[in-house]
Structure 1
Amino acid sequence: MRGTIRPLALRYAARPSQWRCTARWQSSQASSTRKWSTPLAKSLAEAITTTGPIPVAAYMRQCLTNPHGGYYTSRGQETSSDPFGKHGDFITSPEISQIFGELIGLWTFAEWRAQKITSKVHLIELGPGRGTLMDDMLRTLRNFKPFMGSLDRIWLVEASANLRETQRRLLCGEHAHLETCEEGFKSRCKYAPDIEIVWVEDMKFVPQDTEAAPFIIAHEFFDALPIHIFQSVVPRSNETTPSITTSATAVSDPAKQTKKTKPNEWREMLVNPVSPYDAILNARAEKAGPAPDFELIVSPAPTPHSQLLPRLSERYQKILSITGANIEISPESQALVADFARRIGGANQGSDKKQPAGAALILDYGPSATVPTNSLRGIRSHKPISPFAMAGQVDISADVDFLGLAHSALDASPGVEVHGPVEQALFLSAMGIKERADMLIAKAGADDEVKRRIETSWKRLVDRGPDGMGKTYKAMAILPYFAERELRRPVGFGGDISV
């Protein structure tokens, strides 16, 4: 489970013009001689010095996926390390217990069976990590011969070359070869050699096959997608407007002039290098970890993002009147889930899809119904750290806006419905996690250590306490919608497995 940190102090970017000139001159002189925590931090600071502060989304994108020092794209190039597991930076549910992946495989089969799908099936996972989740899913699904007979291709959306190799070894075998293909790379599944596994760097490279039913799994994927942060502020420039005077009237007493307060505006939070002076103070004050190289400032004027994104939903407008309120919006997340919806249910206009089919299962952490705020976090070696420290060597994430995702899916396609989000504890319990754990414990025989590991791992996944994952993590499903059929609740979301 990824850690959290306290909200960072913010700075307002408006300064007297002579201060700004001095600060920019000093920063341009210092950026080349100052000691930065990572090479990526240095290159980002130099770029910002030239072009100005950047949105949080741009900062996250560079830190996570920059080909020269990004967290996911460069990790493991010089060593065999990866971000996952006990020796990495964080641990995910599939790494904690094999039962997690088995139940996701069972959910996929149950949904395929409930929809009575007769077409071919594409299984798609975004951000497969080490491949553990897909491996546990396939090991479970191979027991259902009809489903495996309909499975035409497996797609893995992975930007890291190092992780692709790790996934290839686990899912295809140590001696399997990774071949180049039109979409990216491919190999053969060890559980079913006639099924191809294809790796692509982005979901846009997965063809929208209208003849196939897509089953899409996104586990802890959306939390790593870039976010924009906005703050509600009272405009500082021209905050009041004096009454108009004309040449025919005497100039009024300034004390009697009427003042009209401007309404609040959304201003974008931008990333800027910490000043050299503040960097020295931070280095002396920081005792828990490395001092941040960057900080958040409030844009002194509206930006294109602040003028567009918060206006896309009434949810944001209701918060605007609260001065100092922060909201987080991920347009990439909204666009991606809209793509899921169109693949499953067809587009609003001009869709070639014969009828809705398939499913998307999203498992991640974030609030069920509220707008995420102050959730940007960094984690390294299982400990919280500033997301603005050690750029490229820290995992950066933010809460997922589940309600925003649901709205985006429903707006994108008339052929889908959304179920959830529900707490992970409820979802996994409904899928039979305790019963499966009891089976594995029974198979362990007299090995008390194996029994203990099984017991503690499955309980951690459903524990609703502060140290567990059962309450913080949520599950949400996007399924086909048929106006002429009775509403069906899927298994895990209040429904039962059809017999």
Structure 2
Amino acid sequence: MQTPNSHNPSHPLSAGAERLDVFMARANAQYYATHPLLSDFVTAPELSQVFGELLGAWAVAVWQSMGSPTRLILAEAGPGRGTLMADALRVITRLVPAMAHAINVHLVETSPLMRAAQAQALQPYCTPLWHSHLETLPNAPLILFANEFLDALPIRQFVCSPTTGWQERYVHNGAFICHPSPAPTLPDGRKFEDDTVVEVCEPALHCAQFLAHRFTHTPGAALFLDYGHFSSLTGDSLQALRHTKPTNPLKTVGEADLTAYVDFTAFAARARHAGASVYGAVTQGAFLRTLGLLERTEQLAASTNATMASKLRTAAHRLVAPEQMGHLFKVLALTSPTLPPPPGFIKGSAA
């Protein structure tokens, strides 16, 4: 993807310019409201049923560690077509009927197209309740899934040089312009070089803080799986896909899916400071292998035809192989400080 050029406008800020996070939020809202579901990319739950099954088993273990409460909010943020939740509920219903009886399913989703698909996918198991924001989830024990949710949240971008000081990127007529800005707030100890783009995702940090505060007084756990890194100082990660191919993220507003790498270090630091126990981030490959992805895949492959068995193994490889999704994607869990370490995180992986 070609990074759009930046230039310094005359002041005041050019009429019609939008701060990058405002632009990104508007573009993605339009895209998800008008485009066929997941038409430009494929997510882990769509690759293999084993992905959602393992997360269902993960939820069972966490629920039991909570003392098996008789009421549980099982929620997902950014639930796509509802495939992950359907696969998880199938496992829970089969293995632990008492947990299935305790569950109320809530989905954080704003797109009418997505909500319709989710209702259809979950019809055999439940009638979910939808929310536009995490903050409106009921106050009860909570287990939350969030797969490729944080990467779509809008980011701000800042850059600093000796001649201009700190500036923030805005979007105007399909290109970046810069405007003087206070320095962004970074986790302690961060270093930056001149002209390095610094990314800050305020909604993700708010999500971490909100859940951590909640988990200090109500039992809960949240599992985040996303592509990302451990520093906001790695440069411009804004990207867009249109018709499955990379495209300029500042062009064709609402016609492409805009994402950015998740800064897991900043996310973990905010959650930990707000009182949650933090585990990870670990690589998705290590996490899924620990939960038994390869063994479950072989179990399914042994009971089907050769063509389907090959598809299952290919999907499993894509999910865990370092050169595929195994290393780029990371997994992080937030829990109440009273809960034990959740499955999938080896001893010592608490942040």
Does the CA-based 8 Å contact 1:371-1:401 persist in structure 2? no
C-alpha spacing 1:432/1:134, structure 2 compared with 1 (3 Å): same
Instruction: Say which of 322, 326, 333 aligns to 1:470.
Output: 326
Q: 1:162-241 alignment to 2 at 5 Å? A: 162-172=113-123, 190-191=124-125, 196-207=127-138, 209=139, 212-236=140-164
Does the CA-based 8 Å contact 2:70-2:99 persist in structure 1? no
For residues 97-120 of structure 1, the C-alpha deviation after alignment (integer angstroms, 9 at most, x for no partner) is 111111111111111223324352
Structure having the higher strand fraction is: 2
Partners of 2:168 and 2:72 lie apart in 1 by 42
Q: 1:383-422 alignment to 2 at 5 Å? A: 383-412=245-274, 414=275, 416-422=276-282
Does the CA-based 8 Å contact 2:200-2:232 persist in structure 1? no
The answer to whether 1:345 aligns with 2:201 is: no
1:490 is matched with which residue?
Answer: 342
TM-score w.r.t. length of structure 2: 0.93
C-alpha spacing 1:372/1:129, structure 2 compared with 1 (3 Å): farther
Higher relative contact order (Cα pairs below 8 Å, separated by 6+ residues): 2
Q: 1:133-144 alignment to 2 at 5 Å? A: 133-143=84-94, 144=96
For residues 393-450 of structure 1, the C-alpha deviation after alignment (integer angstroms, 9 at most, x for no partner) is 10000000111111111222x3x20000000000000000010011001111xx2111
1:25 is matched with which residue?
Answer: none
1:276 is matched with which residue?
Answer: none
SS in 1 for 2:262: coil
Partners of 2:120 and 2:102 lie apart in 1 by 24
Does the CA-based 8 Å contact 1:367-1:401 persist in structure 2? yes
Q: Which runs of 4+ in 1 moved over 6 A?
A: none
Counterpart AA for 2:260: A
Partners of 2:189 and 2:252 lie apart in 1 by 34
Counterpart AA for 2:175: E
The answer to whether 1:461 aligns with 2:289 is: no
1:53 is matched with which residue?
Answer: 17
Instruction: Say which of 168, 176, 190 aligns to 1:268.
Output: 168
Does the CA-based 8 Å contact 1:119-1:213 persist in structure 2? no
Does the CA-based 8 Å contact 2:161-2:195 persist in structure 1? yes
Does the CA-based 8 Å contact 2:4-2:250 persist in structure 1? no
SS in 2 for 1:363: strand
CA drift of 1:372 comes to 4.6
Partners of 2:202 and 2:17 lie apart in 1 by 20
For residues 132-154 of structure 1, the C-alpha deviation after alignment (integer angstroms, 9 at most, x for no partner) is 11111111111212221322x11
The answer to whether 1:449 aligns with 2:307 is: yes
Counterpart AA for 1:397: T
Partners of 1:171 and 1:117 lie apart in 2 by 23
Does the CA-based 8 Å contact 1:7-1:375 persist in structure 2? no
Partners of 1:396 and 1:118 lie apart in 2 by 39
CA drift of 1:494 comes to 1.1
Instruction: Say which of 94, 101, 109 aligns to 2:52.
Output: 101
Counterpart AA for 1:271: V
For residues 346-383 of structure 1, the C-alpha deviation after alignment (integer angstroms, 9 at most, x for no partner) is 3xxxxxx4xxx120000001013554521000101221
CA drift of 1:200 comes to 1.7
Q: 1:432-447 alignment to 2 at 5 Å? A: 432-444=292-304, 447=305
Counterpart AA for 1:477: A
Identity level (%):
31
CA drift of 1:126 comes to 0.7
Gaps of 5+ in 2: none
CA drift of 1:6 comes to 4.1
Instruction: Say which of 139, 144, 147 aligns to 2:99.
Output: 147
Does the CA-based 8 Å contact 1:372-1:401 persist in structure 2? no
Counterpart AA for 1:92: T
The answer to whether 1:480 aligns with 2:348 is: no
CA drift of 1:10 comes to 2.2
Does the CA-based 8 Å contact 1:214-1:343 persist in structure 2? no
1:30 is matched with which residue?
Answer: none
The answer to whether 1:127 aligns with 2:127 is: no
CA drift of 1:233 comes to 1.8
SS in 1 for 2:176: strand
Counterpart AA for 1:233: S
Gaps of 5+ in 1: 21-47, 76-80, 173-189, 237-264, 274-293, 347-352
CA drift of 1:206 comes to 2.0
Does the CA-based 8 Å contact 1:71-1:392 persist in structure 2? yes
Q: Tell me the number of residue pairs that the alignment of Structure 1 and Structure 2 aligns.
A: 346
For residues 58-83 of structure 1, the C-alpha deviation after alignment (integer angstroms, 9 at most, x for no partner) is 11011011xxxx001232xxxxx22x
The answer to whether 1:313 aligns with 2:187 is: yes
Q: Which has the larger radius of gyration?
A: 1
Q: How large is the RMSD of aligned CA atoms in angstroms?
A: 2.0
Partners of 1:9 and 1:73 lie apart in 2 by 29
Partners of 1:161 and 1:54 lie apart in 2 by 26
C-alpha spacing 1:297/1:370, structure 2 compared with 1 (3 Å): closer
Partners of 1:315 and 1:328 lie apart in 2 by 16
Partners of 1:159 and 1:448 lie apart in 2 by 40
Partners of 2:282 and 2:113 lie apart in 1 by 33
SS in 1 for 2:177: strand
C-alpha spacing 1:386/1:476, structure 2 compared with 1 (3 Å): same
C-alpha spacing 1:97/1:328, structure 2 compared with 1 (3 Å): same
